[in-house]
């Protein structure tokens, strides 16, 4: 698999415009369901084609009987399905039980015991809930919760982020007045917490170094109460273009998107030593988002992690040059792999003695957030109910 599953589905739906909303939902949910459980389906049934994977998924995960599926079966598949009934279950290896690649389980084995790897994998194999961030420039969380309650929409405050709301089910929001009015944005709770770690203040100069479509940028702008100057840097013009309508809805006036050629762009060098706070949401494996992107299990590799680590080191080194003495740097990924997280930070601190690590638990406590994962923010889906996530907070004590 070389392309994201959601992109493949989007192209398929554009090519088949007559599919209704119900049919599209069924196709998307089925594709993602197969991807989430593919290791187990193959192990227990020997399914060796996409069609057979679909058949056993519908049968074993969705409760569709083989008798109901018979009209869809060709002779070969019918014979295979009949033999399947007598196939004995066998004890799966850990990676199959956890629905994770073997190489990933081996990496995790250096950090987590087998029972935690199993719990993590099973949590990541479940669909993700829908988390929202309230735009505090336009509404309070209580106001948004009250409106959802009046509409009969199940919603509750997220357990850690003071800005978050978790919805029951997946209601359509793209035409909801709260969304159109800029009062809410879709953003996982873990991502919201990284912005709380940066804790930007009014009238500061702040950089979101890998802004992408701007989810964290908008959160930072609201925390700054739309005062000061907030740069949204990214090397992808299509990603930055997605920020424009979101920015317009948000009502923020302090955000300045900037397209970079690379991490050493002249725009970065001109701001060296002038910035109060920098957030780096570094390009990473994305394994913390497997609930939403199960296809990553086949699109990433151990060799790819090494390539990402080189890119992460380069971005961190470049972004750190922006900070003035006393400035704060937050390095974050949506990954739980040490090679992308603690190892990157340790190497950076060893090479840049002017930076010191601030314990993330203390920083969160200062923001009145009751969450203690130690000196780093390290979130696991099975423990915290959100995407897997990592963040380190560092302070610049002076120039090198």
Q: Which of helix, strand or coil describes residue 358?
A: strand
Instruction: Determine the distance from the C-alpha atom of residue 38 to the mean position of all C-alpha atoms in its chain, rounded to a whole number.
Output: 21
Distance CA 93, CA 98 (A): 9
Instruction: Mark 39-51 as b/e (b = at least 16 C-beta within 10 Å).
Output: bbbebbbebeeee
Distance CA 71, CA 152 (A): 40
Token pair for 389: 């996530």
Q: Which residue of the set 210, 334, 386, 396 is catalytic?
A: 334
Orientation of helix 215-223 relative to helix 237-250, angle to 10°: 40
Token pair for 306: 């090494």
What are the DSSP E strand ranges found in the chain? 130-134, 155-157, 164-167, 184-186, 205-208, 229-234, 255-259, 275-281, 323-333, 355-358, 377-379, 389-396
Report the chain's terminal Cα–Cα distance, integer Å.
44
Token pair for 202: 């009014």
DSSP letter string over 205-252?
A: EEEETT-TTSHHHHHHHHHTTT-SEEEEEES-HHHHHHHHHHHHHHT-
Active site residue 334: yes
Token pair for 241: 């273009």
Instruction: Determine the distance from the C-alpha atom of residue 390 to the mean position of all C-alpha atoms in its chain, rounded to a whole number.
Output: 11
> Contacts by 178-183 with C-beta closer than 8 Å and gap 24+?
178/139, 178/144, 178/147, 179/249, 180/249, 181/138, 181/249, 182/135, 182/138, 182/248, 182/249, 182/250, 182/251, 183/134, 183/135, 183/138, 183/139, 183/144
Closest-CA residue to 308 (of 328, 277, 279, 334)? 334
Residues annotated as part of the active site? 334
């Amino acid at each position: 698999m070389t392309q994201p599953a959601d992109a493949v589905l989007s192209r398929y739906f554009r090519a088949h415009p007559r599919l209704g909303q119900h049919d599209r939902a069924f196709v998307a949910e089925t594709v993602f369901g197969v991807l989430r459980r593919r290791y187990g389906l193959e192990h227990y049934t020997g399914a060796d084609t996409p069609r057979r994977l679909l058949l056993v998924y519908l049968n074993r995960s969705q409760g569709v009987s083989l008798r109901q599926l018979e009209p869809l079966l060709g002779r070969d598949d019918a014979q295979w399905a009949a033999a399947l009934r007598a196939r004995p279950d066998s004890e799966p290896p850990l990676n199959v039980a956890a629905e994770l690649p073997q190489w990933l389980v081996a990496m995790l084995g250096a950090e987590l015991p087998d029972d935690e790897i199993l719990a993590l994998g099973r949590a990541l194999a479940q669909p993700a809930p829908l988390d929202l961030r309230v735009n505090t420039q336009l509404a309070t969380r209580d106001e948004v919760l009250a409106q959802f309650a009046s509409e009969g929409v199940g919603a509750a405050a997220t357990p850690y982020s003071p800005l978050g709301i978790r919805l029951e089910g997946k209601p359509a929001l793209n035409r909801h007045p709260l969304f159109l009015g800029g009062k809410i944005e879709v953003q996982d709770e873990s991502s919201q917490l990284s912005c709380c770690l940066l804790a930007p203040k009014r009238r500061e100069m702040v950089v979101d170094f890998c802004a992408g479509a701007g989810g964290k940028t908008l959160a930072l702008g609201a925390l700054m109460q739309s005062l000061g100057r907030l740069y949204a840097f990214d090397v992808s013009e299509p990603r930055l273009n997605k920020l424009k309508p979101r920015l317009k809805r948000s009502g923020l006036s302090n955000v300045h998107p900037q397209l970079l050629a690379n991490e050493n762009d002249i725009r970065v060098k001109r701001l060296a030593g002038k910035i109060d706070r920098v957030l780096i949401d570094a390009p990473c494996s994305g394994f913390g988002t497997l609930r939403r992107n199960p296809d990553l299990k086949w699109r990433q590799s151990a060799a790819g992690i090494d390539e990402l680590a080189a890119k992460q080191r380069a971005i961190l080194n470049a972004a750190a040059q922006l900070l003035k003495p006393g400035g704060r740097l937050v390095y974050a990924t949506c990954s739980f792999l040490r090679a992308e997280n603690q190892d990157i930070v340790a190497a950076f601190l060893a090479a840049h003695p002017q930076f010191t690590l601030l314990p993330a638990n203390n920083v969160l406590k200062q923001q009145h957030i009751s969450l203690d994962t130690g000196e780093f923010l390290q979130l696991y889906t099975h423990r915290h109910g959100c995407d897997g996530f990592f963040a380190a907070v560092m302070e610049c004590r002076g120039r090198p």
